[in-house]
Chains A and B, each alone.
Chain A
């Protein structure tokens, strides 16, 4: 079947880094996206990866290993305002047109 798994919570310290992990299973992989969702707000797109390796986008970087069904979102030089839920979403090929399947989200708490 298809599924996306993420840890429910993660805690880190201002000025350091945090790595949000995501594992997935899908019948036909067609890309993985990361979204940020603040309390009471809509998810906001951060990044999209479809090829293996690390994609460095400054404050946010994303890694993908398709053979292992694994991705992570790396946040560096953490700020308090990075506290939010981070959602991993996988798109798979299918006869019904490539919908995004989301994980439950990882709630990141950044402490001073």
Chain B
């Protein structure tokens, strides 16, 4: 079991460019979560899928952020027109259905917007 896999580990974009972050959840896990982490705000919830269906995107900045889960083996988080304030570590986590207090996190993608 390789755990939750996130790619790339680091991404540097210029202001206004697009960034796509990838997540492969643990096989058999039906819930997938996206969080972002900064020193100031800590871990902020972005969005959540269950059985590939979007359940809660209340943490997503609506205008530029979007997330998809086209199949059970991967999810993507896309940020359009990146801004310096989007710089953060973006963490993906998965869990078993019924065990959503136990999240297994990936190593994260560190996004730096210059």
Contacts and interface: CB of A to CB of B under 8 A. Distances in A.
Given A87-B43, A104-B41, A97 B102 contact: no
B12 interface: no
Nearest to A103: B42
Nearest to B6: A42
A33 to B, nearest CB: 5
A48 B48 contact: no
Select the residue from B4, B43, B56, B102 with max chain A CB neighbours within 10 A: B43
Select the residue from A42, A87, A98, A104 with max chain B CB neighbours within 10 A: A42
Contacts of A31: 101
Interface residues of A, number: 23
A44 B41 CA distance: 19
A43 B104 CA distance: 8
A100 interface: yes
Contacts of B103: 33, 35, 43, 45, 100
A97 B56 contact: yes
B88 to A, nearest CB: 14
22 contacts: A33-B102, A33-B103, A42-B91, A42-B108, A44-B105, A45-B102, A45-B103, A48-B101, A87-B42, A87-B43, A89-B43, A89-B101, A96-B58, A97-B48, A97-B55, A97-B56, A98-B100, A100-B100, A101-B45, A102-B43, A103-B42, A105-B42
